[in-house]
Chain A
Amino acid sequence: MTSLPMMIPPPPVGTAFAKRLSCLLLLTALGVAPLRAQSTGAVAGVVREAGGQGVPLGGARVTVDGNRQIVTTDGRGLYRIRELAPGWHSVTAAAIGHRPQGRDSVLVRAGQTTALDFVLQTDPVGLEPIEVIAERVDSVLDPLAVQDQQRFTSEDLRRLPVSSVDEAIALSAGAVGESYRGGQLGQQAFILDGLGLKNQLDASSGSLGLRLPPDMLAEASLITNGFSARYGQAMSALVNLSTRDGADRWGGRVVYETDRPLGNGADYGLDRAIFHAEGPLVAGIRFIGVADFSGKLDADPVNAPAPSDPRDPRHAEPWMLPHNSGEQADLAAKFTVPLGSRQTLRILGLHSAEQRLLYDPAYKYDQAFMPAQRTSGNLLNAQLQQTFPGPNITADLHFGYFTRDFIRGTPTNLPDYRFGAFTGEKINIQDEDLARRQDTTAARNPLPGFIPPDLSDRTPWGVPAFFLGQASRGDLAWNHFREARTKLDLTFPAGSGGDFYFGGEYSAQRVQTFQRTLGYLPVGDTVPAASAANFTPSAGAIYAEAQGRARDLALTVGLRYDQFSGRNDLPGQAAKTQRALSPRIAVSTVLKGATFVASYGKFRQAPDYQYLVDAAFDDTTRTGRFRQGNPDLGYEESTQYEFSLRVRPTPETSIRANLYIRRLDGLIASVPLGANPDSSIFGNVDAGSVKGVELILEREFTRGWAARVSYTLQQATANSSNAFVIQGVAHIDPVTGDTIRPAKVEFPLDFDQRHTLTAIVTGTAPTAWGPSLFGVRPLAGLEGTAILKVASGLPYSRMTTFGDTIIGLPNDNRLPWTSSLDVLLRRPIKLGGFGGSLYCDIRNLLNRRNIVSVRRDTGMPGVDSTTLQNLALAAYNANPGPIPYESPRYRSWADLDHNGFIEGQAELMPLYLAAARDASQPLFDYGAPRQFRLGVEFSF
């Protein structure tokens, strides 16, 4: 709270600001503040009598969606209806002696208050209500909208060339993939229908395990500042997802999209089918169900250049990587159950399953031994909303049960593809049962079924180098996370100008992990024992938040208390309870037609629980290094200051500018431990800062088109670029050769993308537009959207050829700029009584070859000729022996003297060189290629 004066900008000319501030402070002191939630929205306004005076009507009744929610205006004619689900609602105002007015399409957005005023005509005889056109809702200039929210509705997603909610969110300013405002992965939390959702086990390196089918979505938004004290578990952003309630009448759609008819170069074996139905059941219960299945024969295609050697099998078919398929199934169902005029129960069930074969370049010629993984997630989310009529208190009770299961290892069965990449069967993992039993005793021996890999003899080059075969790498990892979370939110209205929030949540969690590396070897000096953990953390929080509004000035003040108790399975050692207080405050006002928002907040998140347990690395044969878990880790925290300015130069256009400074502290990094220079322990030792500015220009959809351009300039630095980089890293002085341990210095974070530009243009052709062909206008009603993304390169560290010493400072180098152009064209169709569309979705239309990573030794995607020569020579020196005729390694074309042997440097080195060139192909250094999706959609 002491930081408040810093937040308030210099007063403008005159005393208006001072007056507003006084009023605001008074409101705050009285504990009167308007409501602010993020999973729900509100409608507020004033009801007046028609006529020159516009007398406010006290006691007028305002209802939503029939009589689902009813409020009455106060003596000043003010009303506020809270906790409305995002979406379209009908709102009606009525007063005795006046003609009722209604509006049936009031858009409520999460975290926003829709301003809606009514002017009622006097009508002593009581005529039928009339529909009125309410004043335009301006979410840009709304001074109550203190958050930086970038929203996408399900309709937006339909227009955009994106396939998932995540992809849409990634189009937001400040987003770099799933990193937000320079934060590391996992510093965001998901809010699904008001309840927090996070993979607390390994959010920084693993997925959530759940995907919300876009058809379930009412609205998704990315909130990057001042998020409500209601929510924790996040430092950089909240991804706020609100699901739809089922409709009042039955409808739905079926979608199928594919790229398979497109042939070589464009066929990645993609199929996706979506089935969506919603409608009323019995007793007013509404239902929506969505099944979303997708499969790709190459789930992670790359735009890497074809190898020049015609003997390389990729030379002729460089498009698709084998053993890289993936299939996903996302199932969702939601029931909305009215339990009375003021109670609504919403039950959402979500199941996601994904299995992937993972391409490992070392097994290019022995693909059966490449790894595979499965991830699944389940969520049951129940929300009971109750409005108490007397004090008009709204209570939201949430309950969520979330499980996430992950396993990666050697597949025991290769899938039998039945349709595209769909197998209809589970990929089983070798010794999965042992991992689930967490049998570390049995795992001291070589794991059953594992033998060491050998150098492959199935390569075109024959020589024993670089490529592996015979068996897998012997890695086995499994983890399981489950959480039961309950949350109560209470909203106390204080008239139309304020609300007070109070609530709390509690979650009980269970973490189970198992990891074994080099499973073909017994545990010993150079092979770390299997690590396993089984513990039951718990976390709780309470919060209070108030928001007050006086005319165009609003203030939000919140305080959140968090605590978590981590690992409690260590013998004789009680888990330490970590506690933290996080104040948040935001003030907003309108100054000369522009809305100005200043916010300050402290945000904390418990560390990934994976850092509480030991980590073993598969390079232990070389270094014996080991990373020790730390059960006493505390919160990671971020303190953010932000200033936002929103203006509307024309009625259709708006400009938003956000300036932010985030101070990061207590981030997890590895701290040297013991004598072994490579051994370390996780600790809350990293600190850094993020500074940036976001500029968002929008043209709203009028006259058939809309546009949005967002630009972000930011700098994100810290003492350590990620949790696995040892804090206080040493490097070698290139001149003196001395080992230098730098004093405290900040390096760029891994997601420090300095410049990001995203431009989205969308338009719809008129229904009678374009040339006529046999009486049909093929371009009529055509919808099109183009997205241009341009970004500067992410940082990376250069290493020596041996890979054990950083050249310069960590993340001292930058990748090249990247760009892509994505396009979606959609043509509505009518088929019988059904509507629908045909569409073509093209990603990376220009097929730009973006470099997304480089070799750390060369700073290039590939190796240079010297490195190549050295690699080949080292491999030759390791195996200089002749290759006889009967060996599977013998290649007759390499036997220059045809004596039945490939022998000597003259015959062997060309093979080793070719193998080195093959093995160092920088496949995954390149981003995705141009990809098409042809789709057909039927709605009913």
Chain B
Amino acid sequence: MRVTAVDHSESKPEMHAMRRSGGWLVAFLLASCTHSEPFGSGNIPANGPPGTGSPLRLTLNPGQNRDPAWLRDQSGIQYSFQQAADPDLDYCLGVLPPAGGTRLAEKCYPGDPSGQSTDALTNPAPGPGGRLAWVEAHSPVGSLSPITRTIRTGSLAVTDSGQVAITLPYVASSGQLHGTAIDLAWIGSDTLVYVGAEALIGSVCNGCKKDTLVTGRDIVLLDLKDPTHTPNVVPGTTSASSVWPSADGTAIYYTLGGDTKVYRRSLALGAVSVVADLDTLGITRDVSVQDSVLLAVAGGLVSYNVNPVFDRLQGDSGGVLIRLDLRAGGPVALGDTFHYYRRPRLSPDRRFVVTEGTDRKTGLQIATLWLITLP
């Protein structure tokens, strides 16, 4: 953590002098005096929430703002943001205050000061004890294909480049190629869960600009205590599109490509159940569950097909944000009608949802973060 100038100057002299030295001469000389200190620095007051109401736009960054995740104590929202003003278009990790405002912290890849490559830190997963997992990719500026991509664990400290949990791509035991990871999350303190996905270069529609198309392949458990760091594919999760671990870490909730159901699988027993089916609302994905409250995205700009070469592909540019109480009641749409949403995450106190949103009207695929206050 940075040691600020305030920390520095506050440890300065006079209080210590009076407290520790105790010399009569010093006391005499310093009595009834206030002593000047060097000017402080770097203490710019943070800006508060950017407004009121719900949904509330949290990010105005003109680049992508993605992968929101609540810190475990709800003291902030971890996310990744693209530095659109920089020619290399790096992605950094940031932490926003829980109600929005000036970022509390940032972590960018420090190894490329001259901007020779695009360096992306994405999919942050806050873990226990301040641990952090993220996906890190490096590619030449302008290239859509990364040269290296890894999942790393470490901390938010800028100087912490982290430990490599696994290097991507790899061929999973399912025979699928996992070139990246989405929905990265912790189960306990030693296991990561994520959707092993393939990053393809293509278009989600005819005439659309080519982009990286990320489509899920399998859900993977990665035991960090295992020295081989072997990715363990969860059976029955082929073409998974999202995953969310239960609070106690005994089960996972997940969705599958082209499917409208939300599944729950007991990790110990392997028992699978359907906890929700949003069939009338369309393809369901981006599930997250807190207690009995389920959030998911359904319908919207989503496509699913089976390609003879690339197998099952699901393109996703957001959909309708759905809240469902698993104990009672039907699905409720959240947010407004001007945006498609992705990756909604419910706050630990279940009062807020932070989510990616894209503008339905313009069709621009630039994601911003939104905060929705639940009734």
Contacts and interface: CB of A to CB of B under 8 A. Distances in A.
Interface of A: 256, 258, 260-265, 267, 269, 297-298, 313-314, 316-324, 364-368, 414-421, 446, 449, 451-454, 456-460, 462, 469-471, 520-521, 621, 879-882, 884-888, 890-892, 900-901, 934, 936
A888 B13 contact: no
Contacts of A367: 5, 8, 41-42
Contacts of A471: 110, 158-159
Contact of A365 (B12, B33, B37, B42): B42
Given A882-B85, A884-B62, A263 B38 contact: no
Interface string B1-45: 011110111011110110011000110011001111111111110
Contacts of B38: 297-298, 317, 320-324
B33 A256 contact: no
B8 A323 contact: yes
A475 to B, nearest CB: 15
Contact of B17 (A313, A419, A451, A881): A419
B323 to A, nearest CB: 25
Interface string B106-126: 101011011000000000000
B12 A297 contact: yes
A228 to B, nearest CB: 46
Contacts of B42: 365-367, 456, 458-459, 469
B30 A419 contact: no
A194 B228 CA distance: 69
A258 B14 CA distance: 13
B337 interface: no
A923 to B, nearest CB: 12
Interface of B: 2-5, 7-9, 11-14, 16-17, 20-21, 25-26, 29-30, 33-44, 46-47, 50, 58-62, 84-86, 94, 96, 100-103, 106, 108, 110-111, 113-114, 158-159
B34 A892 contact: no
Contact of B61 (A322, A366, A886): A886
Contacts of A459: 42, 44
A434 to B, nearest CB: 16
7 contacts: A267-B36, A317-B38, A367-B42, A415-B11, A451-B110, A888-B103, A936-B25
Nearest to A420: B13
A888 B44 CA distance: 8
A452 B85 contact: no
Given A256-B25, A367-B42, A520-B113, A892 B62 contact: no
B60 A900 contact: yes
A322 B20 CA distance: 22
Contacts of B35: 260-261, 263, 267, 269
The 5 closest A-B CB pairs, nearest first, are: A881-B85, A322-B38, A458-B42, A884-B60, A452-B113
A891 to B, nearest CB: 8
Given A298-B38, A452-B111, A884-B61, A414 B85 contact: no
Given A886-B50, A886-B102, A886-B103, A317 B60 contact: no
A419 B50 contact: no
A446 to B, nearest CB: 8
Contacts, number: 175
A446 B33 CA distance: 48
Nearest to B161: A451
Contacts of B159: 449, 451, 471
A878 to B, nearest CB: 10
B30 A260 contact: yes
Contacts of B9: 322
Contact of B59 (A261, A418, A886): A886
A886 B37 contact: no
Contacts of A364: 41
A368 B36 contact: no
A882 B17 CA distance: 47
B20 A316 contact: no
A417 B11 contact: yes
A63 to B, nearest CB: 46
Contacts of B2: 366, 368
Given A313-B41, A454-B108, A520-B113, A417 B50 contact: no
B24 to A, nearest CB: 11
B46 to A, nearest CB: 8
Contacts of B17: 418-420
Nearest to B113: A452
A323 B159 CA distance: 22
A888 B20 contact: no
Contacts of A415: 11
Contacts of B34: 263
A884 B30 contact: no
Given A366-B2, A886-B59, A888-B46, 11 more contacts: A258-B29, A319-B36, A323-B38, A366-B5, A417-B13, A451-B111, A454-B108, A521-B113, A881-B62, A886-B96, A934-B29
Contacts of A884: 59-62
A913 B345 CA distance: 42
A885 B50 contact: yes
Contacts of A263: 33-36
B64 to A, nearest CB: 12
B21 to A, nearest CB: 5
A886 B16 CA distance: 38
B108 A297 contact: no
Contacts of A414: 3, 7-8, 11
A879 B50 contact: no
A921 to B, nearest CB: 12
B8 A368 contact: yes
A887 B102 contact: yes
B103 to A, nearest CB: 6
Contacts of B16: 416-419
B268 to A, nearest CB: 41
Contact of A313 (B11, B29, B39, B101): B39
A887 B20 contact: no
Contacts of A366: 2, 5, 41-42
Nearest to A891: B44
Contacts of B59: 884, 886
Contacts of A882: 62, 85
Given A313-B41, A419-B16, A451-B159, A888 B106 contact: yes
B75 to A, nearest CB: 16
Most-contacted residue by chain A among B12, B40, B159 (CB, 10 A): B12
Contacts of A323: 5, 8, 38
Contacts of B5: 322-323, 365-368
Nearest to A621: B114
